[in-house]
Amino acid sequence: MVIKTAKEINRMIKEVLNKLNEKQVDEFMQRLVHSRNIFVAGAGRSGLVGRAFAMRLMHLGFYVYVVGETIAPPIKPGDLLIAISGSGKTSATLTTVKTAKETKATVVVITSFKNSPIAKLADSIVLIGGREIKGMKRDYISGQLTGMHEPLTPLGSLFELSTMVFLDAVITKLMKLYEEGEMDLKKRHANIE
């Protein structure tokens, strides 16, 4: 049962990633490589995905910060905020996006909803499906009772899993672009933990 479920989740991730918009991805890559400092924001599981991406960017030599960490400097014009929110409504992430816009920083949002409050503030977006089935009730129990819920991946996990795979692919592309190998990344990996 577990292996069958894992294979089905893998199939669903592939389906989500096949729907990525190449123009959105290219614009994201351009903004990424031309930014002075990069800030990554997200709450909950989206935040965990963002932290993993930030770590890999650091391994590539980017100046990258996780929003909310005590060592993060102020965001300024010329900086990039990458905000990850499946729903596009997460209040903490929305506040972060508003602050970044006020400082004239560039904002890229990774979300499932192009008309969400966070996406509407973005300079560009990357749409990654999987947050929820169209018309799904926001109440978990109601969704379970009516059958309107995501199969196999609870509470939006398909979005986070797909986003993680997408962002790992971005790192692979950047490695090729900057001619960095795994040993180069390893040199920048923490040696005290």
In order along its 193 residues, the chain shows pLDDT tens digits of 788 888 888 988 999 999 999 999 999 999 999 999 999 999 999 999 999 999 999 999 999 999 999 999 999 999 999 999 999 999 999 999 999 999 999 999 999 999 999 999 999 999 998 755 454 444 433 343 344 445 555 555 889 999 999 999 999 999 999 888 887 777 788 877 7
Does residue 31 fall inside a structural domain?
yes
Does residue 192 fall inside a structural domain?
no
Spatial distance between the Cα atoms of 67 and 165, rounded to a whole number of angstroms? 21
- Only one residue has tokens 């950047």, namely 174
Query: Between β-strands 80-84 and 64-66, what pairing exists: parallel, antiparallel or unpaired?
Result: unpaired
Catalytic residue numbers read: 160
Does residue 125 fall inside a structural domain?
yes
Does residue 83 fall inside a structural domain?
yes
Instruction: Count structural domains, the chain.
Output: 1
Domain of 121, CATH number, reads: 3.40.50.10490
Q: Are 150 and 135 in contact (CB under 8 A)?
A: no
Does residue 24 fall inside a structural domain?
yes
Spatial distance between the Cα atoms of 81 and 66, rounded to a whole number of angstroms? 10
Does residue 193 fall inside a structural domain?
no
Domain that holds residue 161: 2-186
Does residue 60 fall inside a structural domain?
yes
Does residue 22 fall inside a structural domain?
yes
| 3-state SS assignment for residue 110 | strand
